[in-house]
Structure 1
Amino acid sequence: MTKLSSHVFEERAERQRECERALNCEFETLTRWAESAGWSWEEIALALMELVEQYVLATACTSTIAQDSAAVRPSKSKTLH
């Protein structure tokens, strides 16, 4: 198992905070729009959780497929025979 140094952990934590800050404005706009359309905060939260789950599954599947296809991709020979 790879051990993460505190420096690597701090970089990942900072990237996570940076990503959250970048998404926050659009997230607030989206949730305000959903509230003004009449959905409750519970409905909005459940819908967002479902969308996040779908995103994670789709991303994980795409990543797995890419890794699997790279593993089985034949190497290109530099000879003609």
Structure 2
Amino acid sequence: MINLVIMAKCLSSICAVSHVVTNNNFLYGIIAVPARRALEREKIDSFEKLSGYSEQEIMELHGFGRNAMEKLKNHMKENQVSFRN
């Protein structure tokens, strides 16, 4: 019983430290999580910030691929936003 209590305390502290919840819903459901994380690492959390980057700069981010870029470009087009030239 004591071992279970100790293990539960250890696990809860590990989960609390390693799982960071963000309230950023920018592009949620549009692009995959790795691509959204790549944008979060660069502090890109709005179309305004995204439009300050070129398509090439976004493609160079770790976690971004052709599929994510196509989905992102389609979503940006729907919202009348474009990349910097």
TM-score (ref. length: structure 2): 0.28
TM-score (ref. length: structure 1): 0.29
Which structure shows the bigger proportion of residues in helix conformation? 1
Mark the structure with the bigger radius of gyration.
Answer: 1
